[in-house]
Each structure stands twice: as C-alpha cells, then as structure tokens.
Structure 1
C-alpha cells in the first residue's frame, strides 16, 4: 500500500509538472497575451530603404491594450553597438503603428515615427555614428518584448546609402583626392562639391545620398587623406579651384557653374570658394564659421590669417565632456577681423544652416554677422535656416543625435549641443531645403546671368 501511494504521488507530481511546464511555454510564446495569435513587427513600405528615408514600424498580434517595449539595435563598422527603446501600449485591436501610437517613455516619448532610429545611443561613451563604406548598409534590428522582457517578434531594416544606379568613382586627378558620385542616366546633372569637417578626412555618405537625389557630387578630401597635408594649419585655395575645374569639365555635369556644400570647418572653406571662384553659384555652410578658423588660407599671393582659439576658455562638465563654446576668438573683434572670409565678393547665393544650440562654436552668431556684412555691401544673395535646440552635427535625416564625442583639435570629448527630437526635426527639414536650394540656384540660365 505504501509503495502504491508513493508511486501514485510520483505520477501526479510528474503530471502537474508537465501541465505547469506547458503553461509556461504557452505564456512565453504568447507573451502573456492569453491568445494564440502570432506577434509580428514589420517595416513599411519594405525592409530595405535609403538611409534618409522614413519608414513605418507596425506591430500586430498583441492583446488589446497590451504593454510592450520596442527596442532598436545597430552595430557600426567598428563593432560599436547603438541602442534605443520605447514603451508602448497596443490599441483595442492589439496593434501598434508608430506613425500614430505614442511612446510612454524610454529613449523618447510621444508620437515619434522614427524615434527608434534617431535616438540610437552608443553603449561606449563619446562615440559617434559614421559611415565609412557607403557600399554596404546599416542593419537596424527592431524587436518587441513583453512586460516580462521576453522577445515576441523581430525584424531587420536595411538602410542603404548608395541608391540604385548611382555610380561611385575614385578621383585621383593631379592633386585631387576625392570620390565622384553620379546619378543614373545620361545627365547632365547639377554639380556639387561636398566636404566634411575636421577629423573625417573623406566621408562619402552625404555626397552619396545627394547623388541619389539627382546631383553629380564630388566628395572632396582636403587633409589627412593619402598624400594630402596631415593637418589643418594652412590651405591653398588652388587645390579647391582644381576640384571645381575637374567637376565642371566632367561631361555629365551641367555648367557653367556648380555648388559647394561645407560642414563645420569646411563651411568656411565653402564660403571662401564662393568668394573667390565665380564658378561657384551656390554655397551652403552647415554650422560653419565666417572666418578661416585655425587655418591660414592662401590664394594667388593673398593670405587670410587663421582665427585662433584659447584652451583656457574650455570648461569641464558633469558628463565628463567639455564645453568648448567660448574657446574660439571672436572674429568681429579687433585684429581678428583680418581672418574674415570676404563673402561680400561672392557672386552666387549663400545658404547658412544653423543649429542654435551648437556648442562647438557660435554658429548662430556667425550667420547673423554674415548677414550684416552682406547687407552692409548691398547684397541680398543669402538664405538662413536657423533651428532652435539643434546641435552641431546636422547630418542627413535619421542619423542619431550625438550628445558628445572626441574632438581631434582639442584632444578631448566635447559637447555638441542640441535636443534629440529637435535636432532630428532640423535634420529632416534642412535636408529637404538644402536640396531645394541647390536645385534652384544651379539652374543653367540663372547661372549664366550670375557669371
């Protein structure tokens, strides 16, 4: 009797264990939904897109009003991982549509359709997302988790830089070190020289994306690349003039003039090109300076001295990054005015794109002084795009906002400024308007009237 009771107890125990185990497995599969629905997360209109294109993220198969966490992950070319997350609650049909569903917190809150992308943050402090090989995409993983932090669904978004039919050609013409991107078709196309800031040497992502939008774009290196000068102490504008001639002489480039786009340090180079080269009919400076900052400029016997900076004006912050906003000398004071770019000589139209919370230097001040200078000389050939709470690194849309990263000139991690949401909104708006600016002012007939 004792043996029978013991055997019965063991059988009952095993039976109960199997029931509990199956119930737990069912809950894991269903994400505590209480239904047998399959949870899916999808990217619309498709899993593959261009990096500057928005996508629609949708989740189906949840329980009505179910609370979940959406997580995004991107690993860059160096192996650094960027992550973002947001809390959501499904609607009455068990669905989420990030185009209209509001995040309840996390990396952002509210209705932010692309929030998972622009809020991606590095797991290592002071890293910044860049793209060195534009021939490969970035893969963004989107995952859905239940309240128990168990995975329910996953999909991958391929975000490409080089568009279908865009060609990429390395340029080694004389001293020129560059990459030329041409749109598909026979052309001719409006031409743009595009340059990046200090520390990048030759980045192609912006030029590559511009080619996808119909511009023949030359991504131009100007220091620290191959046999170019290793520092930014001085530049000879003849190098940039050679690049202008190269692009204008290309059979697929519409003449008789071209545009130039500069960011940060290359912003003042872009303004100098517009001031001295009549072939430059449209110049855009993104968070640039109106003086030749840290570099002496030479051109045909003329010299513009460098605007200097003072490291004693750098301030540490609680984040571990430094505030360098006050480091650069004021170009409008005393002998510093000799470093000003003579933008009043520019024949073409000038575009100043400004992040009003730029902590790298006083971009907003520089742009306002530029306008005063132009108007003083009777010039109206300018447009300004000014964005509240946008920081220094204004990239094409959906690049993650960078709060702070390493600055090669100062040798320190520094603050770049901005608010993540406002910064991304500025990137979206500026990207559209920069393209419209070049389309307008690189029209052939209008160019002929300017020259």
Structure 2
C-alpha cells in the first residue's frame, strides 16, 4: 500500500522476504538510508518519515518483532540486510547504487555489522548508542531474567551463528528489580565484556567498512556501556568520528520528538534505567539529530 502525507510518499514493502516502509520526499532521487530500530524490535516508520523530510529516501526495516519477520532476535540471517541494500539500489527514488545504514542501540551495533559485511553497498554508517561488539540476542520465551540470562546468537552468516558476548544478570540488578527500582542493564554487559576471549571473537571487523562512520554515545548510558563499545569500534576504524555526550543517557537513540521528564522506561516486567538527566539527554537528542542529518548529507 502506498500513501502520501506531509508531502512524503510512504510505501509498505513486502518483497523478497523484506518487511518495511519506504518513505521518500518529493522531487527527484534522494540519498538512501536503511533505518534500523533497537532491541524493542518492530518497525520505525515515523522515524523514517522524519528523516525523509530532510531529503532522504528512507527504508524503515523490520528485522524482528513484527509480522513477517522473526518474533525474537535469534539467528536472524545477516543476508536479510544485504537484500535490503540491494532493494534500495534498485529503487528509482534512491540516488546511486549505495545507501547509508543508521540505527540506535542494538540497531546501531547492527548498522556497523552491516557496513562491515556489505562494504561495497554502504555509503555511510551512523551508530547511536551501539558499539563495535556483537551482543547477545533476545529470546522472549520466558520472563525478564530468562531474556537476560539465556545465551542466544542474534545473527547468522551463511548459516553459522556469529560469536557474541553474554550479558549475565548481576545481584544488584536483581536487587533493583525486587525493590521496584529501575534496573540498569549496563553492568550485565560490562560483566560480559570481562570474558576477553569472547570479546575478541565478537568484535566487529569495522575496518572492512569502506565509508565514513559516525559513532555517538551517552556517557551516562545505563542500558549499555555505549561509550566503551564505540571506542572498540573507533580504535579499528579508518574513517570514523565519535561524538560523546557525557551527561546523556540511552534516550539519545530516539529523535527529539517529545519532551523528556523521566530517565527510565517500562521494560518486559521491570522498569529499565536509561541514565542521564532529562535536560542533558534532550539537548543531546537535538544535537545527535542535527549531526546525523549533516553527516548523511555530506
């Protein structure tokens, strides 16, 4: 189905196994962007429309957690993202035969992984609160602690699971949950990073990326240690830039669409701590959005 709203054309995509919404601005062909959501899954069509309003042809791509794609982030074939890149290269609304990949949180990590796997098809990478290490997948066949402590690979490549680091729960996380406090997931990832052998095996070969890369981190991110994970990528990149917002939290992942009054959000059975202050995070959201649009426009 194709619709028009606010001067943009929105087209639902169900082709070659892809599930998404392609948002295009009026006028001639525009630079292409594949937009990836994070660990919440689903389809981020409104975010794609906002980005398209700045002059981009944007594919909001669902890769799990939506009808037509896997329910869970478990063993999703990386080839799926290659199909999306080829689809964009074939669209009359997209300028050129390469497009950018942009994502936040798990989508930010995935954007780096896609850039490293399909370097000749990617024109730029924007990774917001992501990082250069493959993280554990998400299996929802159980409660919150099952999701945290069940080690499953998020992706496969040519049928083989990619190495990943675990994010085992900690005693403090369980205390926070029992007390009704927002749970900070960051210590689970930091604990997983202590396994240096697994960390090395799960590190993304971002040096294969043949395009500019923009990394963005909140220094007080309590969901993941984004700054440390992005530093791992930065140390291997030939053409990378790392923007840091010391007092911002994980909320920098979303566009600056709404005021922020809290630094936690409802998760699966618990509240999750995002980190940062509302003021610092909202300010960072605006700066992140401006930086990403400018970077993609270059």
Report the counterpart of residue 113 of structure 1 in structure 2: none
Following superposition of structure 1 onto structure 2, how do residues 4-403 of structure 1 map, counting pairs within 5 Å? 164-185=6-27, 187-277=28-118, 278-295=120-137, 296=153, 297-300=155-158, 303-315=161-173, 316-317=175-176, 320-328=181-189, 329-330=192-193, 333-374=196-237, 379=238, 381-394=239-252, 395-401=254-260, 402-403=262-263
CA contact 1:314–1:324 (8 Å) conserved in 2? no
CA contact 2:98–2:123 (8 Å) conserved in 1? yes
2:264 to 391, 395, 404: 404
SS at structure 2 position matched to 1:169 = strand
Deviation at 1:355, TM superposition (A): 0.9
Q: How many residues align?
A: 272
CA contact 2:77–2:159 (8 Å) conserved in 1? no
Higher share in strand = 1
Q: Distance in 2 between matches of 1:200 and 1:231?
A: 8
SS at structure 2 position matched to 1:435 = helix
Deviation at 1:292, TM superposition (A): 1.5
Deviations 1:78-106 (A, max 9, x none): xxxxxxxxxxxxxxxxxxxxxxxxxxxxx
Deviations 1:291-342 (A, max 9, x none): 1111333223564212211112552447621122210111772233211111
Q: TM-score, normalised by structure 2?
A: 0.86
SS at structure 2 position matched to 1:323 = coil
391 and 184 in structure 1: CA distance in 2 versus 1, 3 angstrom threshold = same
Deviations 1:349-381 (A, max 9, x none): 11111111100010011112222233xxxx2x1
Q: Distance in 2 between matches of 1:428 and 1:250?
A: 30
Deviation at 1:203, TM superposition (A): 2.1
- Larger Rg over CA atoms: 1
- Segment drifting more, 398-407 vs 274-283: 398-407
Larger RCO, structures 1/2 (Cα 8 Å, 6+ apart) = 2
SS at structure 1 position matched to 2:188 = coil
SS at structure 1 position matched to 2:18 = coil
1:417 to 259, 271, 275: 275
Deviations 1:385-430 (A, max 9, x none): 111211102221242334112334xx42110011111111111111
Q: Distance in 2 between matches of 1:243 and 1:200?
A: 17
276 and 432 in structure 1: CA distance in 2 versus 1, 3 angstrom threshold = same
Deviation at 1:164, TM superposition (A): 2.2
Deviation at 1:178, TM superposition (A): 0.2
Structure 1: unaligned runs, 5 residues or longer: 1-134, 136-161, 441-451
SS at structure 2 position matched to 1:205 = helix
Q: Distance in 2 between matches of 1:180 and 1:298?
A: 25
Higher share in helix = 2
368 and 263 in structure 1: CA distance in 2 versus 1, 3 angstrom threshold = same
Deviations 1:29-51 (A, max 9, x none): xxxxxxxxxxxxxxxxxxxxxxx
- Segment drifting more, 418-427 vs 289-298: 289-298
384 and 163 in structure 1: CA distance in 2 versus 1, 3 angstrom threshold = farther
Q: Distance in 2 between matches of 1:313 and 1:266?
A: 28
